[in-house]
C-alpha cells in the first residue's frame, strides 16, 4: 500500500506541475466572464473529458509512439526532469506583466484581446520549451 501511495502522490505532483491550473484559471475565468454557472460547469467537464481522453491515448499508445521514433524512455525522463525544473524556476520568478488581469469596465472586444494576448503569451512560453534541443 505504501508503494502505491507514493507512486500516486509522485504522479499527481508531476501532473499538477505540468498542467499548472493556477496559471490557466485566470484565462478560464476571463473567457467565461458573465456566463451562468451551467456554462462554467459544461466547459469544465469538457476540458476534463478532453484531458482524460488525451491521457488515456498516451497511456495506451505512448510506448508505441516512442518506439516508432526511436526515442528511449531514459531520454524522455531526463528531458522531462529538465523541463519540470525550468517550470519550477519560472513559478518563482515574476512575469513581466505581473499576472494581473484588469477587472471591471471592460467591453467584449478588449476582453477578447486580453484573453488572446494571454493565450499567445502561454503559447510562446510552451513553444519555446519545445524548440530547445534535447540533451542526449
pTM, two decimals, is: 0.54
Q: Contact 118/30 with Cβ under 8 angstroms?
A: yes
Question: Tens of pLDDT along 3-19?
Answer: 999 999 988 888 887 78
**Of the candidates 22, 122, 25, 131, which has an alpha carbon nearest to the alpha carbon of residue 83?**
131
Q: Is 48 left (phi over 0), alpha (psi -120 to 50) or beta?
A: alpha
Cα–Cα distance for residue pair 10/16, rounded to 1 Å? 10
Q: Contact 11/80 with Cβ under 8 angstroms?
A: no
Question: Tens of pLDDT along 34-66?
Answer: 999 999 999 999 999 998 999 899 989 999 999
**Of the candidates 12, 11, 1, 46, which has an alpha carbon nearest to the alpha carbon of residue 28?**
46
| Domain boundaries defined on the chain | 2-131
Band of pLDDT at residue 136, cut at 50, 70 and 90: very low
Cα–Cα distance for residue pair 88/70, rounded to 1 Å? 29
Q: What is the pLDDT at residue 36?
A: 92
**Of the candidates 116, 103, 96, 106, which has an alpha carbon nearest to the alpha carbon of residue 27?**
116
Q: What is the pLDDT at residue 79?
A: 93
**Of the candidates 91, 69, 72, which has an alpha carbon nearest to the alpha carbon of residue 80?**
72
Question: Tens of pLDDT along 88-132?
Answer: 888 788 766 655 555 554 455 555 566 666 667 666 665 555 554
- In this predicted structure, which of 28-32, 67-71, 124-128 has the lowest mean pLDDT? 124-128
Amino acid at each position: 500500500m505504501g508503494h502505491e501511495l507514493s507512486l500516486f502522490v509522485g504522479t499527481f505532483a508531476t501532473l499538477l506541475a505540468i498542467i499548472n491550473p493556477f496559471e490557466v484559471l485566470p484565462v478560464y475565468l476571463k473567457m467565461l466572464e458573465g456566463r451562468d454557472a451551467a456554462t462554467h460547469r459544461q466547459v469544465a467537464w469538457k476540458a476534463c473529458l478532453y484531458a482524460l481522453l488525451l491521457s488515456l491515448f498516451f497511456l495506451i499508445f505512448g510506448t508505441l509512439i516512442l518506439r516508432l521514433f526511436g526515442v528511449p524512455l531514459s531520454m524522455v525522463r531526463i528531458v522531462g526532469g529538465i523541463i519540470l525544473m525550468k517550470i519550477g524556476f519560472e513559478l518563482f520568478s515574476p512575469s513581466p506583466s505581473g499576472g494581473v488581469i484588469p477587472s471591471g469596465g471592460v467591453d467584449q472586444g478588449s476582453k477578447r484581446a486580453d484573453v488572446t494576448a494571454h493565450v499567445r503569451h502561454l503559447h510562446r512560453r510552451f513553444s519555446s520549451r519545445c524548440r530547445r534541443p534535447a540533451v542526449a
